[in-house]
Amino acid sequence: MSERVLAGLAVSGGVAVGSAFTLSEAGEDPGGDGAEAAVAALTRIAAELGRTAERLGAQGREIQAEIIEANRMMAEDPSLLAEVVELAGSLPAAAALRAATERRADLLAALSDPLLAARAADVRELGRRAVRALTGVGAAEPPPQPSIVVARELGPAELVDLRLEEGLVLGIALAEGAATSHAAIMARSLGVPMVAGLGDDVLTVGSGDLLIVDGAEGTAVLSPGAESRSRFEARAARDAAARERLAAGRGQPAVTRHGRTIRLLANASTPAEAAAALDCAAEGLGLVRTELAFLDAPDWPSATQHEEALTATLSLFTDRVVTVRTLDFGADKTPSFLRGRGGRGVALTLEHEEALEAQLVGILRAGKGTRLRIMLPLVESPVQVSAVRLLLRRAAATTARPLPQLGAMIETPAGAMRAHELALVADFFSIGTNDLVATTLGLDREQREASPLTAADPSVVELMRRTIDAAHEAGITVEICGEAAGEPELTALLVGLGVDELSVSPARLDAVRDAIRRSGKVGDELGELRDGRGGVVA
């Protein structure tokens, strides 16, 4: 077979060159009582996941333990069990398990928020494990020799089964999957190159065939020739040296060459991400999304539910800055109890003041011991910030907690154009570049042209500069927490615009810290940007 290059999604950086090891699929349904067998399979999987989580915790591998424990709870979800029983009335047990988990996964995968959509991989993994248990196919096992694992999709528990830390998995190539899945987090935390979304062609690779995975570019090379193999092996050696160099900088402050300090924070929605951020020396959390835990909620969450959902994540950052965003429900992130209603972000939650106040109470309780900040999504009017501040004062009185800073997220041109007004009522700004880029340039956030690098478009830069200038005139700080903040190629531009804080995914902390330290004076880094209204961005 001649050399072929498949394009997919960059998940975990690095290059792997080696023999393929293709994971087998589940076998045939053995028949019998469908409902009883399906429920028994899920029960067995929940018990296995529970034991795995305990083992990982005892080994000090808290990131993996938290993720596996979350999957165990998913396997015991009464609504999932009820759906499986219902489907098993007309389908074989394996088909019922596949249908129930696939239905839930499809709903999640349709969400535009990549972190929320990536939960689909965990649901599908649960279905695969249950079907394997039902049909007699054992759990995924590591290859007998160092190899690149090839599969349709993998979940976090399957990665634990593969025992990545033992070094037998050189890389991972998936036909499906997402760059923000729990499996992706685990692969990145262990430095295993991984590419997802390669399509069915990657499944034609036979075990033992030579394969190359490029986790930085998101490609796989099937049947590589001698020239490609030599080139990628050399790059793998260079990448390893670069990672060691960047990791060595974790003890150094994020200070530019001319002495300007940038606070380097992390985005996190789970305890696993928060733990990964700590490992990479994040100074705090700049964006904690709260809707992740409640997409399947039957009604607005209570204060206690909010507290329970956040405590494990926030408690890892005692005495450090943590920035919690209130619920960003609406549009594609609409739970069943809100379907058919319009609105999104803070505008939507202000229509339900009791629910918003309950969330503020829960956040204040969960943030005890941290330097808590609360920020509001999609703010476009000073009235919105003032209205929430009144609720926050009541919540603080209820919990006997001090008032935290209240910030406004600038994510639309309308918000940026009113930045001077918003700066008078907000305690800080956070620029969400994902939505700002999409709304300014009229792009679909899910398309490739909506890449983080499009934040360097002059029209977007002008809105960011307007926002940052307004904040500084009012004496408040500005962070950037969108994907653009995690692009080292953009760091000099953002520093040049005057941003005070960057909040990035844990995997990007080392590279962005290095880019900050190589940046120059404010203004020097704007290059050919000129006045932000035209020309080429350097």
Sheet of strand 15-22, all strands in order from the earlier edge strand to the far edge: 4-7, 219-222, 210-214, 15-22, 147-151, 169-174, 194-196, 9-12
Q: Residues 256, 516: contact at Cβ < 8 Å?
A: yes
| H or E element, residue 42 | helix 34-58
The number of beta carbons lying within 10 Å of the beta carbon of residue 118 is: 23
Residue 114 CB contacts under 8 Å (≥ 6 apart), including other chains: 178, 179, 180
Tokens 């330290």 sit at which residue? 517
SS3 379: coil
What secondary structure, in 3-state letters, does 145-195 show? CCEEEEECCCCHHHHHHHCHHHCCEEEEEECCCCCCCHHHHHHHHCCCCEE
At 252, list the tokens: 């150094």
The reply to whether 420 belongs to the active site is no
The reply to whether 306 belongs to the active site is no
Q: Residues 333, 326: contact at Cβ < 8 Å?
A: no
Which amino acid belongs to residue 323?
T
For residues 126-150, one letter each, b for 16 or more C-beta atoms within 10 angstroms of the residue's C-beta and e for the rest, the string is bbbbbbbbbbebeebebbeebbbbb
How many Cα atoms occupy the beta-carbon half-sphere of 228 within 13 Å? 20
Which amino acid belongs to residue 208?
G
Q: How far apart are CA 350 and CA 300, in angstroms?
A: 13
> One of 258, 280, 352, 481 is an active-site residue; which one?
481
The candidate with the shortest Cα–Cα distance to 173, out of 145, 134, 144, 206, is: 206
The candidate with the shortest Cα–Cα distance to 455, out of 475, 473, 479, 482, is: 482
Counting every residue written for the chain, the total comes to: 538
Which amino acid belongs to residue 313?
T
Q: Residues 375, 409: contact at Cβ < 8 Å?
A: yes
What's the chain's Rg over C-alpha atoms? Answer: 24
Q: Residues 271, 66: contact at Cβ < 8 Å?
A: yes
| H or E element, residue 306 | helix 303-314
Active site amino acids: 182, 481
